[in-house]
Amino acid sequence: MNLKEFKQVKSKGGDKKIMKTKIKQEKGITLIALVITIVVLLILAGVSINAIFSENGIINKAKDAQNKMDEAQQKDLNSINELNNWIDSKTNGATGGSTGGNTTGGGDNPSTPSGTWTQNKTTVTDGKTTYTVGDDYTYNCGVSGYTGGWKVLGADKGKLLIMSTVDVGTLQLSGKEGYNTGISQLNTICAPYGTEARSITVEDINRVTGYDPTKQNNNTKYGAGEFYEYGNKVTYTASGSSATNGKTYTSAISKYEHPDGRILGQNDVTSIQVESTAYYYYPSTLTTSDGEQTGEIGISKTIPAYKLLFRKADDTANCSYWLASSFVRAGSDYSTFGLRLVNSDGGVYDCLSWRSNSGAYSRSDGVRAVVSL
């Protein structure tokens, strides 16, 4: 072997070492690249999961979109129901009208009034069509299972009011919650019966009967001279009470808890003031004694308005139902709180659900819907 061949052989051995080094380096680079790739994939996975499941992620956005779509569909359904009601009234007519009784009224459909509706006790008019409270009215509420009818109740804020002839539900009210949330619960029950549906109130009834608690018994306030005088403000302290009409109570008051959570003598509560808004009356006399109507006072028990408000639909007995109107009745050393109702004896009453010195009371009664057209 000459010198040139020896060098070639030696050179080949060196190349093998170089090759091995390169392979090791390439393996190292490949491993690093793999680790980097895994890290990148994990980051991408985390970003994807966050984009899907986070509060502002795809799933929640999809849910929000679905909810908005459902709301839009419900609004469309309500609009369709209103259109159907209008078409029904145009084709079938509204029962009642200026001729009275059970005839079909002419003129424009009151659900799309051309004027402003006004009320004078049992007479309701927009200048073109005139109704009497208690007249039948054709109205499709769209609530499956409702078997009652609808009658003209009056007018409020320029709109015609109609009322369900039977209960649309029942509700039990009790304690502080009954006083604090009773009105909203009643209105929620009535809401499905129209775009502007609510529970009947004592103000609706007073517009029909003509009752005014500031002008009872020869133009005097209800309960005049007493702690419960209408509009009287009474302040309770640990040592007694005093009222804006001059009434005082000088004995100690050991317990007074307001339904809003305030307790006399606790948490720096040294006094509690309430305004007495309670009253009750009978619609035929506008006093606290029942009887027949005399003169122009009250309403007769024989007219459709009385039967709508105080009798069952079949006219076999008196009815009872809640009114979405609250009251406070002030006493010398306590107050009662609750909602008003039409009572089964034919009167407009207050029904307590909370008494400041003794706690909760409970009652279950019917619910009547009113729709503004």
Contact criterion met (CB below 8 Å) for 154 and 119: yes
- Locate the domains of the chain by residue range: 3-53, 93-104+113-223+277-373
For residues 29 and 32, what is the distance between their CA atoms, to the nearest angstrom?
5
Give tens-digit pLDDT for 245-265: 999 999 999 999 999 999 999
Rounded CA separation 79/69 (Å) = 15
Is residue 118 pLDDT above 70, yes or no? Answer: yes
Higher pLDDT, 175 or 80: 175
Cβ atoms within 10 Å, residue 22: 10
Q: Please count the CA atoms within 13 angstroms of the CA of 32 that sit on its side-chain side.
A: 6
Say how far apart CA 185 and CA 164 lie, in whole Å.
17
Least confident of 32-36, 57-61, 105-109, 330-334: 105-109
Q: Identify which has the larger pLDDT, 216 or 116.
A: 116
Model pLDDT, residue 343: 96
Least confident of 50-54, 206-210, 285-289, 330-334: 50-54
**Cα–Cα dist 15/177, whole Å:** 93
Under the banding of pLDDT at 50, 70 and 90, the label for residue 280 is: very high
Return the sign of the alpha-carbon dihedral for residues 73, 75, 80, 81: positive
Give the best-scoring range by mean pLDDT among 25-29, 284-288, 303-307.
Answer: 303-307
Res 18 pLDDT > 60: no
Residues 96/123, Cβ–Cβ less than 8 Å: no
What is the per-residue pLDDT across 32-60, written as a single tens digit (0 to 9) for each? 888 888 888 888 877 777 666 666 666 66
pLDDT of 156 strictly over 70? yes
Q: What are phi and psi of 346, to 5 degrees?
A: 95, 10
CA-atom Rg of the chain in angstroms: 38
Token couple for 107: 């003129």
Q: Are strands 150-156 and 335-342 parallel, antiparallel or unpaired?
A: unpaired
357 and 336 Cβ atoms separated by less than 8 Å: no
Q: Which residues touch 111 (CB under 8 Å, ≥6 apart)?
A: 82, 85, 86, 89, 94, 139, 160, 373
Indicate the residue type of 344.
S
Handedness of CA 319, 163, 364, 333 (dihedral sign): negative
Helix (H, G, I), strand (E, B) or coil at 115: coil
Q: The pTM is what?
A: 0.70
Burial 257-272 (b: 16+ CB within 10 A, else e): bbbeeeebeeeebeeb
pLDDT given for residue 270 in this prediction:
97
d(CA 233, CA 106): 50
Predicted confidence band of residue 106 (pLDDT cuts 50, 70, 90): very low
SS3 percent helix, strand, coil of the chain, rounded to 5, is 35, 25, 40
> Is residue 92 over pLDDT 50?
no
d(CA 155, CA 138): 17
Region at 24 (left for phi over 0; alpha for psi -120 to 50; beta for the rest) = alpha
